[in-house]
Homo-oligomer: A and B are copies of this chain.
């Protein structure tokens, strides 16, 4: 057994438990570009999931998607009134951050299980309320951290756990994109610039990838953060365009990451250990193949990775959890750790002080 054994059968679903032929019927809540281009195809591809309903504030958008894919279109009002509630077993919430809570509340009231996109909500308070509601209703809540079921990340995590790079010493990561340029295609996504709807800017939207993915691969949570936020363009008058974070994770590991809405489309995660380095580059974008390199014993190994449809994997995992009757790993409490960290990051950027994270989960 060598320390690279984790790379065998690269795309294996080590999380799969369910062997039956059940199906989870899903209502898509929110029909923006991410739902149309990634989530809907993901549900169509995934084992044991079947998209049946689509909800959107813009009826024509819901109807067009419904027509094309044989779904039942609903307005938010119809959804809230319980229309077609026998047509779905779970909801996938992919709307502006600050609107997750009412959808989750209603779905939980109907006894539906929930897959909620991250960030969970626009603030820690609202996210906490969201988790409480799901718990009280006894429904399953999975937060949509698609990196957790990407084999590139799962194998990286296994390599680290197997000691391939020794003890982890430090992490660097980035996620950046040209948001203003990319927004042109879908002006409705302008909600990301509205603090009431988004809760924040680059940190909430994409900074959560390096923050959370590092938690996943290290199996450790942030304990303190120091951050700066900046904005250059006038569109970012109310939320940050860029964030730079120096965090310390459990075990004393420095984790340095950046996120920017006006930088070249780029993402990487670089974990340095005492005995080696793992570089994922690109690391985070669903629309770009991920890549992995390992450096150990003075050698560089370019890993022959298998890229998957990230949403297919995530949704198959969701169905697997539901149908096998177990709780998912990135549950509401897991998501709250990010929300606490994000609050601390904003506080640090405001005060210029290093902020400790009070973390009830640890």
Interface residues of A, Cβ cutoff 8 Å to B? 165-166, 169-170, 172, 174, 176, 178, 226-228, 230, 232, 242, 244-246, 248, 252, 254, 256-258, 260, 262-266, 268, 270, 272-277, 295-296, 298, 352-354
- B263, A272: Cβ atoms under 8 Å? yes
- Tallying the copies of this chain within the complex gives 2
Residues of B within 8 A of A258 (CB): 170, 172, 254, 256, 272
- Which residues of chain B have C-beta atoms less than 8 A from A165's C-beta? 264
Q: Known: A353-B352, A354-B353. Is A228-B246 also a contact (CB below 8 A)?
A: yes
Q: Would A273 and B277 count as touching, CB distance under 8 A?
A: no
Give the docked Cα–Cα distance between A173 and B248 (Å).
17
- Closest B residue to A245 by beta carbon equals B246
Would A242 and B353 be within 8 Å (CB), given that A258-B256, A273-B264, A295-B266 are in contact? no
Let me know if A274 and B266 touch, CB within 8 A. no
With contact pairs A226-B246, A226-B354 given, residues A170 and B263 touching in the complex (Cβ less than 8 Å)? yes
Q: Chain B nearest CB: distance from A73 CB in Å?
A: 36
> When the two chains form their complex, are residues A244 and B256 in contact, meaning their CB atoms are under 8 A apart?
yes
State A245–B260 Cα separation when bound (angstroms). Answer: 19
Q: Is B169 a contact of A262 with CB atoms below 8 Å? A: yes
Chain B residues closer than 8 Å to A242, beta-carbon distance? 169-170, 254
Of B169, B174, B178, B257, the contact of A263 (CB 8 Å cutoff): B169
Which listed residue (B226, B270, B295) contacts A226, Cβ 8 A?
B226
12 additional contacts, CB 8 Å, given A169-B176, A228-B254?
A172-B256, A172-B270, A174-B272, A242-B254, A244-B246, A244-B254, A263-B272, A264-B274, A264-B275, A264-B296, A266-B272, A352-B353
> A170 touches which one: B260, B274, B277 (CB < 8 A)?
B260
- For A265, give the chain B residue with the smallest CB separation: B298
Would A264 and B272 count as touching, CB distance under 8 A? yes
Which single residue of chain B is at the shortest CB-CB distance from A166? B264
CB distance from A55 to the nearest CB of B (A): 35
A140 to chain B, nearest CB (A): 37
A264 CB contact (under 8 Å) in B226, B276, B354 = B276
From B178, B246, B353, A353 is in contact (CB under 8 Å) with: B353
